[in-house]
Structure 1
């Protein structure tokens, strides 16, 4: 049994390492060499070569004619499935559009919690010339930002401590942010994740009243003063209520 447990643990470790290699590909690194993967991952070259071979065999990596690696065509099927699974109801899409318009052209977004991160699953880009850009599917730290505060407001104390420890943050500060967001139903932030970028977010709940998502407005700090946030809150909380009533999201684990 000990051997089986050891093999199981090794299998999980290999899966995590393979996923970490895939995560090294992004908009700034569309292709990578094996050497780059070794340097970026900190893994032994033999381990990277073995994982790359497995990922290539499964179609998750592709070797170009110049020998560099790029995400494989096998990911297209998963991407299509994920896109379909996270496709918003038309009413929710319209809700984000109206929120953006009624806020004066700020960008509106929906975030959900994924483990100890938050992910943007939908957005309506604002019409302001100066605006903050977020990519759909992009992982962001859960401890920072108004949406993170809202999503943490539905979490246990043990989870808050776990997030704080992983991010090197003060658990008492995170707990206070979560408590305040739970009490108000909304949260605001300025420069927590990125300098001169601010946001305000409100909670979206599932049919059991649990926090399922955060709907937010975000942009430069100069347009998110206390007075601006006070003006945003009526339209933001209205959007949160409408999204809650659609019941298209459930709280994650």
Structure 2
């Protein structure tokens, strides 16, 4: 339920503005591949906002082209194309790197992902799916926790203790998990790659290698992931060799964010 209007009116204007933006983004976030159209009723049920508030926000989003009214509800509006174009220009990988990911997925027959860090999460910014029917797929744009996973062990190489504690607090294991994270990260740094087996999702394994920026820091993690049954020790070693070679090539070409300007 919404807070009473008296409480809302007493709230500083800047806080009210931030809250309105968060609510509007929350509405846009309800749109997915599986649900490309959302009704006012569904928005009310999902957000817990009053219908009058939802109608006001939806009207504003529609007026700015971010939503488009249909007979069944609201879909993504044409105004999002401009932002999508800007995002693609900034984040799309160089053609050579995309070809490399395609070749790697075809050769190793597992899904190839590229992750970057966003605060205490890792974000998938590129992917090439495995050609096999049984495969592991993360959608581009998905945010995943950093308390486990091969890519996290690579991305967190230079993380400070405070960062690891914040990540650990979000894990099922609590703050004590920070020490475990540090051990995992140090091991990955020593061997030049990270690996995980069922740490976050049962039956899923991954191997990841670091992509370095011009300053030498880790800017991305290049990973192969799939069913654990296919990630035997011999295969993991082969995957690691391929990933390290490709990640080194990406680093040598000058791979910094935004990717569209990194070569």
Q: TM-score, normalised by structure 2?
A: 0.84
Please state if 1:17 is matched with 2:23. yes
Could you give the per-residue CA deviations for residues 181-205 of structure 1, whole angstroms, max 9, x where no partner exists?
3343321112233331211101111
Residue 196 of structure 2 corresponds to which residue in structure 1?
189
Q: State the Cα RMSD in Å.
A: 2.4
Structure 2: give runs of 5+ residues left out of the alignment.
Answer: 1-8
Residues 156 and 130 of structure 1, relative CA distance in 2, 3 Å threshold: same
Residue in 1 that maps onto 2:99:
94
The alignment of Structure 1 onto Structure 2 pairs a total of residues equal to: 247
1:148-182 deviations in Å (ceiling 9; x for gaps) = 22222232222222223244543323333333333
Q: Which residue among 229, 235, 245 is the counterpart of 1:222?
A: 229
Could you tell me how far apart the structure 2 residues matched to 1:131 and 1:92 are?
A: 22
Other structure's SS at 1:88 match: coil
Aligned-residue offset at 1:33: 1.4
Match status 1:7 vs 2:13: yes
* 1:91 Cα deviation after fit: 2.1
Moved more, 216-225 or 153-162: 153-162
Taking a change above 3 Å as real, the CA distance of residues 49 and 196 of structure 1, as seen in their structure-2 partners, is same
Residue from 113, 124, 140 that aligns with 1:120: 124
Shift of 1:241: 0.7
Unaligned runs of 5+ in 1: none
Match of 1:155 in 2: 159
| Separation in structure 1 between the aligned mates of residue 14 and residue 182 of structure 2, nearest angstrom | 35
Give the Cα separation in 2 of the matches to 1:65 and 1:22.
18
2:6 corresponding residue in structure 1: none
Find 1:178's aligned residue among 168, 182, 185. Answer: 185
Cα shift at 1:130: 2.3
Is 1:85 the equivalent of 2:103? no
Compared CA separation, residues 215 and 53, structure 1 to 2 (3 A): same
The list of structure 1 runs, each at least 4 consecutive aligned residues, that deviate by more than 4 angstroms after superposition, is none
TM-score by length of 1: 0.87
